[in-house]
Amino acid sequence: METKLERIDIRLSKQDKELLKRAQLLSGDKSASSFIVRVMKEQANKIVDRHECIVASEKDRKTFFKTVYSETAPNSNLIEAALKYKANA
């Protein structure tokens, strides 16, 4: 089954178009469209990855693992949060 391609129309200043064309030629992409799609995908993936990634400091990591492996019973807030999570999962 063939994937249907979608269109996006954009308007560029003359300077932006010239820069795009120069970058496309230097990159070795065969067309401006293939260059735009490739660069757009790379940047879109980076943005999505950056926003979906959890970054924790060393202090956060230590606190997390200390809490997970401790013998302390969960408090009422944690129990309530777990129940809400299970109800929505």
Mind giving me the DSSP string for 21-34?
Answer: HHHHHHHT-SSHHH
Please tell me the total count of domains within the chain. 1
Residue 44 lies in a domain: yes
Residue 7 lies in a domain: no
Q: What is the pLDDT of residue 50?
A: 87
Question: How do residues 37-57 score in pLDDT, each as one tens digit?
Answer: 999 999 999 999 888 887 788
Residue 9 lies in a domain: no
Q: Which candidate, 39, 14, 13, 41, places its Cα nearest to that of 28?
A: 39
CA-to-CA distance for 63 and 73, rounded, in angstroms?
16
Q: What is the pLDDT of residue 20?
A: 96
CA-to-CA distance for 20 and 35, rounded, in angstroms?
8
Q: What is the pLDDT of residue 32?
A: 94
